[in-house]
Amino acid sequence: MKIAQSFLLALMVMSIATSSAAEPVKSVWKGFDKLDFTVDGRKCFIVVPKTAAAGKPWIWRTEFFGHEPQGDIALIEKGFHAAYIDVQNMYGAPVALDIMDKFHAHLVKEYGLSTKPSLEGFSRGGLFTLNWAARNPDKVSCIYNDAPVCDFKSWPGGKGKGKGSAGDWQRCLKVYGLTEEQALAYKLNPVDNLEPLAKAKIPLLHVAGDADKTVPIDENTRLVEKRYKELGGEIVVIAKPGVDHHPHSLVDPKPIVDFVLAHTK
């Protein structure tokens, strides 16, 4: 009997520990509640507005959360949740998109968030927003990209005007499972795979410096703009004269916020 009781007690303790481990860890970010948890073993979090807007809309920052956050803060103040999952050093590869699928499903099921978030891609984050939208065009309200990478040959490959990043290029090839020759012929970079977004009528906003030496605007945003318009897609480009890769965003984020609000479904 004592052995059975001890066994049951141990099971209860394990159950409580497991339950506690699964609970989000609460903290504060910029005056808002922040809930940290894991999905598929990856660290992630959401920032919760004081009062959620109807339909629980959310902005999904795919990289560099907290950098130039003025747009995110303004949207949270208007009732948006803000979300992030760590898929760093995955460069928008299919394995990263698999993780993003699970994160999206988790937020919709567990937190009741909208099935159609607004995606936000800073720098290399553009590979994630545009690739995930091409895979899931029915799950995106709109996309705001900022100095975005739209072709991994441009960055980190450095096969055009930009200097690229040798270390990132090797990691990129590895996570995609491509040789360099295969990567140069790859046809699913965002610049080559915009048709699913255009068919779904996903509006795009790109903010980028026209003197960007890291992610040249002509090889990325301008190429997307040209091809997206040819496909009948809606895209707005805010080119910042004489600005390099930094600073990101806009000092006054109103054009960004207005764009997201206008296209939130």
CATH number of 24-262: 3.40.50.1820
Query: Is the model's pLDDT at 9 over the cut of 70?
Result: no
Q: At 144, is the secondary structure helix, strand, or coil?
A: strand
Give the whole-number percent of the chain exceeding pLDDT 70. Answer: 92
Q: Tell me the per-residue pLDDT of 68-86, one tens digit each, with 9 for 90 and over.
A: 999 999 999 999 999 999 9
Nearest CA among 61, 90, 83, 196 for reference residue 136: 196
The total number of residues shown for the chain amounts to 265
Digit-coded pLDDT (tens) for 90-137 = 999 999 999 999 999 999 999 999 999 999 999 999 999 999 999 999
Distance from chain centroid for Cα 114: 16
Q: Which of 184, 111, 114 is nearest to 154 (CA)?
A: 184
CA dihedral 220, 221, 226, 228 (to 10 degrees): 100
CA dihedral sign of residues 197, 201, 202, 204: positive
The pTM of the full predicted model, rounded to 2 decimals, is 0.90
Q: Are strands 25-29 and 32-39 parallel, antiparallel or unpaired?
A: antiparallel
Mean pLDDT taken over the chain: 92
Cα separations (Å) of 189 from 38, 43, 110, 127, 131?
28, 26, 32, 8, 7
